[in-house]
Amino acid sequence: MSETTGPIALQVEGVRSGYDAVTVLKGLDFTVGNEIFAVLGANGAGKTTLLATLARLIPLMAGRIRFLGDDVSSLPPYETASRGMGYVPQENGIFPDLTVLENLSVGGMMGERPRDERLAEVFELFPDLRSKRAQTAGTLSGGESRMVACARALMQDPRVLLLDEPTAGLSPIYVDMFFEKIREIHRTRGVAIVLAEQNATKALEVADRVMVLTLGEAYAVIDARDVTTEQLKEAYRI
Ligand SMILES: Nc1ncnc2c1ncn2[C@@H]1O[C@H](COP(=O)(O)OP(=O)(O)OP(=O)(O)O)[C@@H](O)[C@H]1O
Ligand SMILES: [Mg+2]
């Protein structure tokens, strides 16, 4: 298992979670430093379950989650969000009946800095959203909705950003742009990023380390520069 880089953002110890009688995550142990940490795995491997568990939307069956050193295992999601956990779910990451600006303002309700300062930053990161700010979010394209969901989470000034397959279903040009933004967010804001992905090639391009999930178990945490996409695909059939 490779070493964590930078201060520890998340520490996951013996975490089991799932849905009622179904245990999906079967005892995970890993840490996330100030890095881009990719979670790879096939459909149904447990990536979404893991991110929702980290965001404290799914109760733990066992184990412990520390966020910036504090045990957050029994805290509600709004509490972890207000401490700086930004979550961009795989689906339904926006309020469809609100405008783009209103969506972003909801994110801006947390944190200290003036809303307009943060808005200027997210519009700089996603310039397309500035001209669409009065548009009802439900009428945006898939790529634009993804940008809004991500921008809304950034409006919270997160310390850790959980991104669940942010580019799934997007056209190649959006995919490349989005991965570039992920890198930029990490580099310029110092936000640790947990990125759930099926696209191993792209994940390896941006990640510092990757964890491969297979049926709810972590098979490895690997330094991204020590492994090729072909090796990953062959070893884990993703
Ligand atoms: N609400 C639920 N109730 C019961 N089982 C669930 C529920 N949500 C997910 N599961 C099951 O948990 C397992 C892991 O699902 P999860 O959504 O975490 O996978 P994933 O890695 O995100 O997959 P994908 O790449 O398709 O998004 C699957 O077997 C799924 O059927
Ligand atoms: Mg998923």
pLDDT tens digit sequence for 124-155: 989 999 999 999 999 999 889 999 999 999 99
Identify the band that residue 21 occupies on the pLDDT scale cut at 50, 70 and 90. Answer: confident
Ligand 1 contacts CB of residue 45 (under 6 A):
yes
How far apart, in whole angstroms, are the C-alpha atoms of residue 62 and residue 73?
9
In this prediction, residue 7 carries a pLDDT of 78
Ligand 1 contacts CB of residue 159 (under 6 A):
no
How far apart, in whole angstroms, are the C-alpha atoms of residue 25 and residue 7?
25
- The pick from 15, 17, 19, 238 for probing ligand 1's pocket by mutation, whose C-beta has the most ligand atoms within 8 angstroms, reads 19
- The pick from 15, 17, 20, 22 for probing ligand 1's pocket by mutation, whose C-beta has the most ligand atoms within 8 angstroms, reads 22
Total-model pTM: 0.93
In this prediction, residue 23 carries a pLDDT of 94
- Mean pLDDT, all residues of the chain: 90
In this prediction, residue 112 carries a pLDDT of 81
In this prediction, residue 12 carries a pLDDT of 97
In this prediction, residue 3 carries a pLDDT of 65
Between 12 and 143, whose confidence is greater?
12
**What pLDDT, in 10s, does the model give residues 64-107?**
999 999 999 999 999 999 999 999 998 878 999 999 999 999 88
Paired residues of 99 in beta bridges:
136
- The pick from 25, 26, 47 for probing ligand 1's pocket by mutation, whose C-beta has the most ligand atoms within 8 angstroms, reads 47
Identify the band that residue 235 occupies on the pLDDT scale cut at 50, 70 and 90. Answer: low
> Does residue 195 carry a pLDDT above 80?
yes
DSSP category for residue 3: P
The dihedral over CA atoms of 221, 82, 151, 114, expressed in degrees to the nearest 10, equals -140
**Cα–Cα nearest to 137, from 92, 98, 89:** 98
Protein residues with C-beta less than 5 angstroms from the ion ligand 2: 47-48, 90
CB 132 within 8 A of CB 177: no
Minimal-distance CA residue to ligand 1 atom 4? 19
Distance 48 CA to ligand 2 centre (A): 4
Q: What is the mean pLDDT of residues 178-204?
A: 92
Q: What is the mean pLDDT of residues 27-32?
A: 94
H or E element at residue 49: helix 47-54
Kindly give, in sequence order, each residue whose CB lies less than 8 Å from that of residue 48, ignoring residues fewer than 6 positions away.
89, 90, 164, 196
